[in-house]
Chains A and B, each alone.
Chain A
């Protein structure tokens, strides 16, 4: 089958300082095909596409469009050549309608007429099967609708080559299916579609050919029909990897964190968490699924003590029964009070009383391990700050979504970042860097962090290594509850699986793990139960071993559908 070439790249090289983002890349794009550009994060996919769409200018090499060498210096030049790119982060004006956004920046000779715009938009939507109301304002739109506006914006400018950068990252399974239908229709109409992705199943589902990039170099271009997931992964990573998550059954799970009727309003007064109720068990991974911005972050921050909740309870069951007390965590005064309340016992289950004992004797008894807790402790964490929670001896670990903005400090080195958790220890006003340094060295060794040492600023590490440092630190303080928000975002396959395995190991050690994820396949493979939330409310909690992607997808959009039906 002879196909007409739409675009060729020859020997493209692009450097950023000493970093070579693309090296000598060749690429052919034909008319009427969907080409997937596959590669791990940081392999140069987006940089390569940015050179076609005029954001960057290549250092070396040629771009040939329709048989002639083209110079693309700006997005405007790209449009002139019929190339349009839909970026990962939408560039729309919130206060404008869809139609206004579509024509924005066009320099047409005739007078601006909404009628002609609308009719042209209607033509496009009809032709490719979009669903869009041109008069709707952007701020009223869902992520999927905004994406539709971006695509139509490009089509309106009569682009023949469409580049989509990770278009499925923010969509539900149903929306992805719909998007793929549209893409196929555009292909059949003779357009060239380039889709950047790192998700293998999507590549196999939608593309005609796949180009694999690795470390900025072109590895291979193959017909999708002739390949399989394992082969693509091998080309992408450079070696054979087994992509299995070893999921064990939870061993005697007990409720560790019970959240009941939690309501939270954010600073703008918006009701972001609505009556959330769930239980996280020890020795179990509880997944949280939902469209981005449905309240996942707020939920974790509320539990951790960063956002004050309006109402509800967050009960933490401290499994202290039969555990020896320790003076590191509790003060002598607190211990005396506990003893007076009858909360302590000795090894023979007799109540311990510190009456008429001097501090020295009490200390000795405690150090000998003769003083045990009688019962588990139940604490309400609501209205407690992170520091208060920690001072109560409760180890909540939290891997926040914004690694360098909240979990770590980019300009500080690994040792100083380790110290964030532990710097308060020690009596004097001076810092002790020795223990954090040992800890840093240990994490570097155990988690195989690629770094030249403990003294380089963490922002210089790659995404995967930054995450290893953060997760390593959070695990190192032996948490009872480990919360992780999008812990593999931006990580390559190997690092992702390292993180999954770390979470699994924590689960096997009896930690209650709460995992907020975006990739439903991973959630289904890794978690024991999955809680789905939508606009701040729980729409369902399902068993991850039996649930399907479609089921979760429906739950993710549940209330919206209801609203639509009501109208």
Chain B
């Protein structure tokens, strides 16, 4: 029922906004698709301004849009890499969802994941020379190390919030920096003299287990690495969907998120729910951290989480905190990322171009939500648009 007024010389305000009531499902998606299309046009314009290959006709705009797709699907390797990246991003985004549903703005997914990687690597680092520990046990211990580290990193801000009402956004953000410095510190301790990086671990690779389940000769090398990660991400998103929608815990999370007063009124101990949910969030980050440490990198450095802790926030919001829709949004984000990176390579535009492209598209997608929630009336066309609103 809000209505804003702008200046204007005539009788009626030039532009006025009114809040829409419900909008049909397909109508909302039409607006979103239109927004993406407009975003693409804007991207094309920016690319034309920046790329000499486009300006002197070596490449055409249709090549430009094609590259968006080929960046992710151009070859078998690219496709699997794309799926793997979606899976890792999805894992971290899923970790944020329970807290977000509770309106606990955990922006520390980055730090929680990084610390989990560190936890898993620490276990492997100290145990890799113990030949009597079988590979599967080492992996299990690494997983445990990752889960515990992630949980601790999430628990600290949760406890402070529950006990003293500290602001969780600032707290979790700061914990990211602490995590980065903790990793730097451990690297100084671990890296042998005369070397610049930790190097890969001798043992503790997830593929050693995968190879026992599938015949590695049937698949390319990288597929063996990526398959468990992709499967785990899909399973996690299904499990989390069920947890949030069909369990008592999930219901309590929604109640606490919607209204603390209602939660108290029906006797939910909101502190308990906050702590429990953040432990879950931390442990999900732990799983992501374990997958990165054991499944992909076999090492740790300050960039192990790749900024996915922050990108994941966007995935979760765009997916409206629904783990199943997030499969889609994580895919879209990675598609843009990979496409933009490919373009930057093929079109001879360097620097921050991929970020610019992703930023432009996201700007249009997020901006479209405004037009889904509000209707804009112009002075002259008012009657026309008014009728559309009624329909």
Closest Cβ neighbor of A55 among chain B residues? B3
**Residue among B20, B255, B265 facing the most chain A CB atoms (10 A cut-off):** B265
Given A57-B5, A71-B11, answer yes or no on A15-B386 (Cβ-Cβ < 8 Å).
Answer: yes
* Cross-chain contact B248 with A430 (CB below 8 angstroms): yes
Mark contacts of B367-391 with chain A using CB atoms, 8 A cut-off: 1 yes-contact digit, 0 otherwise: 0000000010000000000100110
**8 Å CB interface, B245-274 against A:** 246-251, 254-255, 258-259, 261-262, 264-269
Min distance, Cβ A323 to any Cβ of chain B, angstroms: 24
Inter-chain residue pair count (beta carbon < 8 A): 82
Q: Which residue of A lies closest to B252 (CB)?
A: A423
Find out whether the CB atom of B267 lies under 8 angstroms from the CB atom of A386: yes
Asked if A423 contacts B264 (CB within 8 A), the reply is no
**CB <8 Å contact, B261 and A406:** yes
Q: Which size bracket describes the interface of A in this complex?
A: 35 or more
Q: Please measure, in the bound complex, the distance between the C-alpha atom of A16 and the C-alpha atom of B17, giving whole angstroms.
A: 10
A326 within 8 A of B: no
Let me know if A386 and B265 touch, CB within 8 A: yes
The answer on a CB contact under 8 Å between B3 and A56 is yes
- Chain A 244-276 residues near chain B, CB threshold 8 A: none
- Which chain A residue has the least Cβ–Cβ distance from B255? A409
In the complex, the answer to whether A406 meets B247 with C-beta atoms within 8 Å is no
Given contacts A406-B262, A409-B255, whether A57 and B19 have CB atoms under 8 Å apart is no
Q: Determine if A17 and B20 form an interchain contact, defined as CB atoms under 8 angstroms apart.
A: yes
B3, B5, B20, B264: which contacts A386 (Cβ < 8 A)? B264
Docked Cα-Cα span, A73 to B16, in Å, equals 12
Q: How far is the CB of B242 from chain A (nearest CB, A)?
A: 9
Cβ contacts A390-423/B at 8 Å (1 or 0 each): 1000000010101001111111100010011101
Residue B12 at the A interface, CB < 8 A?
yes
User: Across the two chains, which residue of chain B brings its CB closest to A411?
Assistant: B258
List chain B residues, Cβ under 8 A from A400.
265
Question: Is B261 touching A405 in the complex (CB atoms < 8 A)?
Answer: yes
CA A15 – CA B382 in complex, angstroms?
12
Collect the chain A residues with CB atoms within 8 Å of residue B137's CB. Answer: none
Contact B265 A430 (CB under 8 A): no
Is A57 within 8 A of B12, CB to CB? yes
Residue in B21, B250, B266, B375 with the greatest tally of chain A CB atoms within 10 Å: B266
Decide yes or no: A431 and B247 within 8 Å by CB, A17-B389, A56-B3, A409-B262 being known contacts: yes
A526 to B: closest C-beta gap in Å: 25
B-chain residues with CB within 8 Å of residue A405 when the two chains form the complex: 259, 261-262
Q: Does A73 contact B5, Cβ atoms closer than 8 Å?
A: yes
In the complex, the answer to whether B386 meets A57 with C-beta atoms within 8 Å is no
A58 nearest in chain B by CB position: B12
**Interface of A: prevailing SS:** loop
Q: Which residues of A contact B268 (CB under 8 A)?
A: 387
| A19 contacts chain B at the CB level, 8 A cutoff | yes
- A385 B267 Cβ-Cβ under 8 A: yes
Minimum C-beta distance from B117 to chain A (A) = 30
- Which residue of B has the minimal Cβ distance to A304? B265
Are the C-beta atoms of A387 and B390 separated by less than 8 Å?
no
Q: Does B18 contact A (CB under 8 A)?
A: yes
* Contact indicator A431/B251 (Cβ below 8 Å): yes
The distance in angstroms between the C-alpha atoms of A12 and B268, with both chains bound, is 49
Instruction: For the complex, give the distance between the alpha carbons of A304 and B267 in Å.
Output: 10
Contacts of A429 in B (CB 8 A): 247-249
Knowing A16-B19, A431-B247, the reply to whether A412 touches B265 (Cβ < 8 A) is: no
Instruction: Contacts A57-B13, A429-B248, A431-B246 given; indicate if A390 touches B267 (C-beta within 8 A).
Output: yes
Query: Please, which residues of chain B bring their CB within 8 A of the CB of A385?
Result: 267
Q: Which residue in B11, B21, B265, B390 is a CB contact (below 8 Å) of A407? A: B265
Query: What chain B residues lie within 8 Å of A388 (beta carbons)?
Result: 267
Give bound CA distance, A404 to B259, whole Å.
9
Q: Among B11, B12, B389, which residue has its beta carbon within 8 angstroms of that of A18?
A: B389
Instruction: Tell me whether B1 is interfacial, beta carbon within 8 Å.
Output: yes
Taking a contact as CB atoms closer than 8 A, the residue among A16, A57, A402 that contacts B1 in the complex is A16
A521 at the interface (CB under 8 A from B): no
Residue in A18, A402, A420 whose CB lies within 8 Å of B21: A18
Q: Would A73 and B13 be within 8 Å (CB), given that A405-B259, A430-B247 are in contact?
A: yes
Q: Which of A375-390 contact B (CB under 8 A)?
A: 385-388, 390
**Would you list which residues of chain A between 455 and 478 have a CB under 8 Å from chain B?**
none
* Residue of A with least CB distance to B267: A387
**Given the complex of chains A and B, what is the CA–CA distance between A59 and B12 in angstroms?**
10
- B248 adjacent to A424 (CB under 8 Å): yes
Mask: chain A, 219-262; 1 = CB below 8 Å from B; 0 = not: 00000000000000000000000000000000000000000000
Across the interface, do A16 and B265 meet the contact criterion of CB distance under 8 Å? no
Q: How far is the CB of A26 from chain B (nearest CB, A)?
A: 20
Residues 217-251 of chain B, each 1 if its beta carbon lies under 8 Å from chain A, else 0 = 00000000000000000000000000000111111
Is B251 a contact of A423 with CB atoms below 8 Å?
A: yes
Q: For residue A423, which residues in chain B have a CB less than 8 angstroms away from its CB?
A: 248, 251
The 10 closest A-B pairs by CB, nearest first: A387-B267, A17-B21, A386-B267, A406-B261, A409-B258, A420-B266, A429-B247, A406-B265, A16-B1, A18-B21
Would you mind naming 28 contact pairs between A and B with Cβ atoms under 8 Å apart?
Answer: A16-B18, A17-B21, A17-B375, A18-B21, A18-B389, A18-B390, A19-B21, A57-B12, A57-B13, A385-B267, A386-B265, A386-B266, A386-B267, A388-B267, A406-B262, A407-B265, A409-B258, A411-B258, A419-B251, A420-B255, A420-B262, A421-B266, A423-B248, A429-B247, A429-B248, A430-B247, A431-B248, A431-B251
Given contacts A73-B13, A431-B246, 14 further A-B contacts (CB under 8 A): A16-B1, A16-B21, A18-B21, A57-B16, A71-B11, A386-B266, A387-B268, A388-B267, A405-B261, A410-B258, A412-B258, A420-B255, A430-B247, A430-B248
